[in-house]
Amino acid sequence: MKKIVLILDGIVAKKFLQSVLEKYFSSNNYIIIANDSSFLPEEIPSSCHFHFFDPTSSYKLLNILDSEVSDVFILSDNVEEKKVIYEIIKKHYRDVRIVLNVKNTQESLEYKNNDKTFFIDESILLSGAMIARLPNVPLIPQGFGLGLGEVMEINVPFGSVFAYRHIGSIQQKNYRIVGIYRQNEFLLSNYSLVIQPTDTLLVAGDPRVLTQVYHQVKSDIGQFPAPFGRDIYVYVDMILQDFDELMRDIEQAIFLHEHLKNTKLYIVVLHPSDVEVMQQLKTFECLGIDVSFDYKVSDFITRFQEDLKKKIGMIVVGKKFFLQRRIRKVLFNSAIPVFKTSYKDIRTLKQSIVVLNEEMNDGENISSVIFDVSIQIKLGMIIYDFDPDKHYQIDILKDYENLSRVFDKKITTIKTHTKNPIIYLKDTKEPLLHFLPFEKCITGHGFLNFLSTKVEKISFMLDEHPQILIPILEQIDDK
């Protein structure tokens, strides 16, 4: 065990000694030097040896120190005495590590610069403790790691863009969500763990990035496509699609780019072959919109897997892409929201719709995304609850009603046991922004879907309305 010298004076020093004696007395051999016998505890551990004298006395102090001492801690309120003690030790034991308290940075400048000397700045500790008690500021553990803010605790408020999100659905670049504190319990993070309002996130990473993450967590509705990512990618193919389809998909992506809080829109053109069309597409390029022509990649999947390394918040594709099962599977496994375009003009959108199902009770809650997008695009919201047996989704409806009050957003609820939502969608002439959970069943064979009673298996094949498919992370875990 190491031989440690503690030179103590003052109230703080007594508290420090008390902690050492109660918790860490067996970690090292301690020599405690004080000028006041009141530091002597009732019970003295065998690893501790007490000496009472004035430590500014060079003769007495050097009689206690020897070459086996590895560390000296000086904790005192007297500035002048600290300097005298420090000079005595450094003069005779240059390699010993010294830790001492200073009232502020100015006091630390009075000591010679030495890589074996470490200062505990009282002003920083006190201000840090006070800041940690302020509302709406991140909690940064003191005395841990580098102490620069590379570890942070962030409380998740109601309405946060992180609320009801799987940890795996949040892009974590240069930081990681290590775990969650919930109801006095620590939950180690995993891919499918769902973040709930009032949770406290334990995050670690680059301090500058964590500051941005803190502001993201605290930001409320109106941030989508965060926290999935920050950019929108639209993919078109000059061989797969005709001119009208291609232009429609790009125009709908531009509409989203104009209304959502994404950073940039990337238009990716596969199999470029028509020069006139390419020149026309180039006219879309401007600040915030990038147009790229991919001459090298032979298919969508190869190019998409390359783009997955970037901060994609939403993918825009047309029906001809989405009808291919292998593409649906890749999109599903990416855990990124997908916007499937429609032949209807989305600039006339006035309403969004979500059809409830009982699986929405389990784990992933897509309601926050639906509210976020609907609020940003200024759409009314229809909650469609269909059950032939009248076993309606009461708990899910309550969640939507609560969010409706939180965000002051009116919703229209349709409960029916007679009108199938597929018929309702096909009969509605005006375009609706249709939200669907991106469930694993959607990646199945299309020709069998019409035999299913599951709404998601049929509705994703419809072309009447634009759709946003929101990933369900616990199903991706089981892929």
Give the whole-angstrom CA distance, residue 41 versus residue 305. Answer: 66
Between 412 and 173, name the one with better pLDDT: 412
Q: What angle do CA 88, 94, 96 make, to 5 degrees?
A: 95
Q: What is the pLDDT of residue 363?
A: 45
> What average pLDDT does the segment 282-301 reach?
92
Instruction: Give kind and range of the element (H or E) at residue 122.
Output: helix 122-132
Angle between helices 367-377 and 394-406 (to 10 degrees): 40
3-state secondary structure of 172: coil
Instruction: Judge: domain 135-218, CATH 3.30.70.1450.
Output: yes
Q: What is the pLDDT of residue 99?
A: 94
Confidence label for 82 from pLDDT (cuts 50, 70 and 90): very high
Between 171 and 397, name the one with better pLDDT: 397
Confidence label for 76 from pLDDT (cuts 50, 70 and 90): very high
Give the whole-angstrom CA distance, residue 377 versus residue 368. Answer: 14
401: Cβ–Cβ under 8 A, 6 or more apart, which residues? 411
Share of the chain above pLDDT 90, in %: 52
Instruction: Judge: domain 231-339, CATH 3.30.930.10.
Output: no
Give the whole-angstrom CA distance, residue 104 versus residue 106. Answer: 5
Q: What is the pLDDT of residue 336?
A: 93
3-state secondary structure of 53: coil
236: closest CA among 156, 316, 295, 157? 316
Between 174 and 30, name the one with better pLDDT: 30
Confidence label for 163 from pLDDT (cuts 50, 70 and 90): confident
Tell me the CATH number of domain 3-125, given options 3.30.230.10, 3.40.50.1980, 3.40.50.1820, 3.40.50.720: 3.40.50.720
Give the whole-angstrom CA distance, residue 434 versus residue 463. Answer: 11
State the alpha helices, DSSP H only, in 294-393: 300-307, 319-322, 325-334, 367-377
Q: What is the pLDDT of residue 115?
A: 81
Give the whole-angstrom CA distance, residue 382 versus residue 407. Answer: 16
Q: Residue 295: what residue type?
A: Y
Which tokens sit at 157? 């408020």
List, for residues 230-278, the tens digit of each pLDDT value. Answer: 899 999 999 999 999 999 999 999 999 999 999 899 999 999 999 999 9
DSSP, res 465: S
- Would you list the domain boundaries of the chain? 3-125, 135-218, 231-339, 346-477
CA 245 to chain centre: 36
Maximum Cα–Cα distance across the chain: 98
353: Cβ–Cβ under 8 A, 6 or more apart, which residues? 381, 382, 383, 384, 425, 432, 433, 434, 435, 465
Confidence label for 359 from pLDDT (cuts 50, 70 and 90): low
CA 11 to chain centre: 41
3-state secondary structure of 20: helix
pTM: 0.63
Q: How many residues does the chain have?
A: 479
> What average pLDDT does the segment 331-355 reach?
93
- Beta bridge pairs of residue 10: none
249: Cβ–Cβ under 8 A, 6 or more apart, which residues? 234, 236, 241, 316, 317, 318, 341
Q: What is the pLDDT of residue 451?
A: 47
Q: What is the pLDDT of residue 358?
A: 73
Of 99-108, 161-170, 406-415, give the lowest mean pLDDT range.
161-170
3-state secondary structure of 441: helix
Decide whether 231-339 matches 346-477 in CATH topology.
yes
Phi, psi of 73 (to 5 degrees): -110, 125
For the 346-477 domain, the top CATH level (class) is alpha beta
Structural contact between residues 39 and 17, judged by C-beta atoms closer than 8 angstroms? yes
> Across all residues in the chain, what is the average pLDDT?
87
Residue found under tokens 């003052």: 10
Q: What is the pLDDT of residue 253?
A: 97
List, for residues 195-228, the tens digit of each pLDDT value. Answer: 988 899 999 998 888 887 887 787 667 788 988 8
200-205 and 151-155 as β-strands: parallel, antiparallel, unpaired?
Answer: antiparallel
> What average pLDDT does the segment 445-455 reach?
56
